């Protein structure tokens, strides 16, 4: 669906990765260090231009990610993608590790962005639950890798960034191994079906402001809309149409929270010819209008 704007679509502001005010591509800190540095900072949801991995080794709290709240428990690992909105609220006496890294960092150190997205941990149009490591799991390998990253980061010997990149990939692979041992229900599907699901998620993230119909994605994938719906339902438990609407609504809520963009501009930016159609959809999905949602969310975090 073509956009009706003659000007460039507005962008949402987000934070760049910096160390002491200077641009950076990788940052490693303990949660204790971050608490000391930000002890006087008021916690409000925010968004980054970089990836974030948070491993909480001790303590409890809550973590808001894209307007969904997760309970934080010991040995929970969170994976946050660029542009996602999040905020961690921890109870006192907690420990853990935080890694921040940019797309440039992973690409320059032999981790293609598509590999990171295909890992199953980072956001790809649908919710990605955090990894809760069971008590019975041997965490020694993960600890060894995180300590190796910590050492490389602080000693900064020659080729330390390449070493961190390799250790980071091994860390994610170990997380994948742990995930695959968890007793969760998985739907068996063919390799072809899995590939189509990945392609659909890529298309959705890249075209949700242009394509609002299942048929448009199905045509790009050279399959029928019914078959696409069947595959998506098997994978996510929801229809392809629901995923499309959810992705549009997520971006709309981000605009409502983090920009001064008018509802009319947001509607055009998200590919609606008629702002009234967008407003009607928003109210149906959120049970309140765009303006009311904006006022409520800002009041909550003011």
The pTM score is 0.82
53 and 122 fall within a common domain: yes
Q: What pLDDT, on a 0 to 100 scale, did the predictor assign at position 47? A: 76
Write out the two tokens for 217.
């994605």
Nearest Cα to Cα of residue 122 among 89, 162, 77: 77
265 and 295 fall within a common domain: yes
73: in domain: yes
- In this structure, what DSSP letter does residue 131 have? E
165 and 222 fall within a common domain: no
Of 126, 160, 181, the residue that ends a domain is 181
Q: Which domain holds residue 204?
A: 191-300
Q: 27 - beta bridge partners?
A: 100
Pairing of the two strands 95-101 and 26-30: antiparallel
CATH for 240: 1.10.10.60
List strands edge to edge, sheet with 85-90: 46-47, 85-90, 61-65, 68-72
Model confidence pLDDT, tens digit, residues 90-132: 998 999 999 999 999 999 998 988 888 778 888 776 667 899 9
Q: What pLDDT, on a 0 to 100 scale, did the predictor assign at position 1? A: 33
Distance, CA of 283 to CA of 275 (rounded, Å) = 12
Q: Does residue 77 have a pLDDT over 70? A: yes
262 and 167 fall within a common domain: no
- CB-count burial class (<10 Å; 0-12, 13-18, 19+) for 252: buried
The answer to whether 72 and 64 have CB atoms below 8 angstroms apart is no
Q: Who contacts 93 (Cβ-Cβ below 8 Å, separation ≥6)?
A: 58, 59
Q: Does residue 69 have a pLDDT over 70? A: yes
11: in domain: no
Q: What pLDDT, on a 0 to 100 scale, did the predictor assign at position 7? A: 44
Q: Who contacts 149 (Cβ-Cβ below 8 Å, separation ≥6)?
A: 28, 99, 164, 167, 168, 171
203 and 174 fall within a common domain: no
Residue 114's φ and ψ, nearest 5 degrees, are: -65, -30
Total domains in the chain come to: 2
261: in domain: yes
128 and 274 fall within a common domain: no
169 and 206 fall within a common domain: no
Distance, CA of 24 to CA of 7 (rounded, Å) = 32
CATH for 29: 2.60.120.280
Nearest Cα to Cα of residue 38 among 102, 83, 90, 114: 90
- Average pLDDT, integer, range 253-276: 94
8: in domain: no
Q: What is the mean pLDDT of the chain?
A: 87
129: in domain: yes
Of 151, 181, 211, the residue that ends a domain is 181
Is residue 160 classed as helix, strand or coil in its secondary structure?
helix
Q: Indicate the pLDDT class of residue 44, thresholds 50, 70 and 90.
A: low
Q: Indicate the pLDDT class of residue 293, thresholds 50, 70 and 90.
A: very high
Q: Does residue 291 have a pLDDT over 90? A: yes
The answer to whether 128 and 121 have CB atoms below 8 angstroms apart is yes
Q: What share of the chain is helix, strand, coil (3-state, %, to 5)?
A: 45, 15, 35
Distance, CA of 172 to CA of 119 (rounded, Å) = 8
172 and 225 fall within a common domain: no
Q: What pLDDT, on a 0 to 100 scale, did the predictor assign at position 149? A: 97
Is residue 103 classed as helix, strand or coil in its secondary structure?
helix
4: in domain: no
The answer to whether 297 and 257 have CB atoms below 8 angstroms apart is yes
Q: Does residue 6 have a pLDDT over 60? A: no
């Amino acid at each position: 669906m073509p956009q009706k704007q003659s000007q460039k679509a507005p962008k949402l502001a987000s934070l760049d990765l910096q160390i002491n005010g200077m641009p950076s591509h990788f940052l490693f800190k303990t949660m204790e260090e971050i608490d000391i540095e930000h002890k006087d900072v008021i916690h409000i949801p925010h968004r980054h231009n970089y990836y974030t991995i948070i491993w909480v080794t001790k303590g409890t709290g809550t973590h808001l990610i894209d307007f969904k709240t997760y309970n934080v428990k010991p040995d929970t690992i969170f994976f946050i993608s660029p542009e996602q909105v999040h905020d961690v609220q921890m109870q006192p006496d907690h420990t853990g590790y935080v890694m921040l890294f940019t797309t440039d960092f992973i690409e320059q150190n032999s981790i293609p962005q598509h590999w990171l997205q295909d890992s199953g941990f980072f956001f790809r149009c649908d919710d990605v639950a955090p990894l809760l490591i069971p008590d019975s799991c041997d965490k020694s390998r993960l600890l060894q890798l995180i300590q190796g990253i910590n050492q490389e980061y602080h000693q900064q010997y020659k080729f330390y960034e390449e070493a961190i990149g390799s250790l980071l990939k091994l860390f994610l692979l170990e997380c994948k191994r742990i995930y695959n041992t968890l007793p969760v229900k998985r739907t068996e599907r063919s390799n072809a079906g899995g590939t189509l699901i990945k392609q659909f998620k890529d298309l959705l993230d890249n075209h949700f402001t242009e394509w609002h119909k299942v048929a448009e994605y199905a045509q790009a994938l050279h399959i029928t809309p019914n078959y696409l719906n069947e595959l998506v339902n098997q994978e996510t438990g929801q229809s392809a149409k629901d995923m499309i609407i959810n992705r549009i609504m997520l971006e709309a809520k981000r605009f409502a929270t983090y920009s001064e963009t008018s509802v009319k501009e947001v509607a055009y930016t998200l590919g609606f010819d008629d702002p009234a159609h967008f407003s009607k959809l928003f109210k149906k999905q959120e049970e309140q209008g765009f303006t009311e949602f904006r006022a409520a969310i800002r009041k909550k975090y003011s």
